[in-house]
Amino acid sequence: MLEVERLEVSYGALAALHGISLTIRPGEMVALVGPNGAGKSTLLKTIAGLLVPRAGVIRWEGRPVSAETPHRIIERGVALVPEGRRLFARMTVRENLELGAFTTRAQRERRAQLDRVYRIFPRLLERERQWAGSLSGGEQQMLALGRALMGLPRLLLLDEPSLGLAPRVVESIFSVLAELHREGMSLFIVEQNVQAVLTLAQRAYILEGGRIVGEGEGQRLLQDDHVRAAYLGPLARGASS
């Protein structure tokens, strides 16, 4: 279980998260939606240990992670698939995947996990020896997800996995996420594709201006007036970019 309590994060004098609290139960798929600049990436980066909170606590499986290094947090089973994928363009697909297995635990399971990632994404096996930089956007997202899986996460944090991808590719990424969820993984997904993610996720939080302004079951939020007007109406931006 992930517990975030009264989390405050700032960039210098600029406060980005104003005391937010949320929970992700074991095996749950939870979405985080909100406009650009709301603090969604800030929250995921802080959970992954890339940013240090000014106040508040983050607990994973009962113990705080807020004071640990990113490396240690991955060892504890929490992996981030960052916005923009952050691959090593001049390394091969295979090399990028192997870099994801850097913890002792993941090293031991590396071969089996590589086979698993190739089973999930056969395209990555076909492209095994190609440079990551030569892949299509969809293939790069698969690689970023595959690399995170190489670290054997129990909680996967995904920052806008569908950004810039064609609808067909988005559908296949989302069906992989649904499959991981069925296998028992916990997922926390930031998405601009609000309709799709609220359909997929069990629960969602709405983040606006660094504050949680709504929470509920995905299906229920799809009927919510504020959500419909802000994220699903004809004027909603970036709904399916």
Ligand X SMILES: Nc1ncnc2c1ncn2[C@@H]1O[C@H](COP(=O)(O)OP(=O)(O)O)[C@@H](O)[C@H]1O
User: Residues in the site for ligand X, rule: CB under 6 A?
Assistant: 11, 14, 16, 34, 36-42
Number of alpha helices (DSSP H) and beta strands (DSSP E) in the chain: 11, 10
| Residue whose CB is less far from ligand X, 24 or 38 | 38
Binding test (CB under 5 A) with Mg ion, winner from 17, 41, 96, 204: 41
| Residue whose CB is less far from ligand X, 17 or 185 | 17
Cβ–Cβ < 8 Å for 149, 112: no
Q: From the CB of 8, what's the least distance to ligand X, in Å?
A: 13
Q: What is the DSSP letter of 232?
A: I
> Among the candidate windows 14-22, 36-44, 127-135, 223-231, which touches Mg ion by CB under 5 A?
36-44
H helices of 59-192, where? 70-75, 93-99, 104-108, 110-120, 122-126, 137-150, 167-182
42 binds Mg ion (CB under 5 A): no
Helix (H, G, I), strand (E, B) or coil at 18: strand
**Quick one: what does residue 34 bind among ligand X, Mg ion, none, with the CB cut-off 5 to 8 Å set by partner type?**
ligand X
**Quick one: what does residue 38 bind among ligand X, Mg ion, none, with the CB cut-off 5 to 8 Å set by partner type?**
ligand X
Cβ–Cβ < 8 Å for 214, 224: yes
Q: How far apart, in whole angstroms, are the C-alpha atoms of residue 99 and residue 4? A: 29
| Residue whose CB is less far from ligand X, 14 or 235 | 14
**Quick one: what does residue 85 bind among Mg ion, ligand X, none, with the CB cut-off 5 to 8 Å set by partner type?**
none
| Residue whose CB is less far from Mg ion, 150 or 190 | 190
Q: How far apart, in whole angstroms, are the C-alpha atoms of residue 179 and residue 189? A: 14
Report which residue type is found at 117: V
Cβ–Cβ < 8 Å for 213, 206: yes
β-pairing, 14-24 with 2-11? antiparallel
| Residue whose CB is less far from Mg ion, 106 or 163 | 163
Q: How far apart, in whole angstroms, are the C-alpha atoms of residue 186 and residue 179? A: 11
> Among the candidate windows 14-22, 33-41, 60-68, 142-150, which touches Mg ion by CB under 5 A?
33-41
| Residue whose CB is less far from ligand X, 33 or 73 | 33
Interaction with Mg ion in 95-134: which residues (CB under 5 A)?
none
Report which residue type is found at 80: L
Q: From the CB of 91, what's the least distance to ligand X, in Å?
A: 26
**Quick one: what does residue 106 bind among Mg ion, ligand X, none, with the CB cut-off 5 to 8 Å set by partner type?**
none
Q: From the CB of 102, what's the least distance to Mg ion, in Å?
A: 25
> Which residues sit at the interface with Mg ion, rule CB under 5 A?
40-41
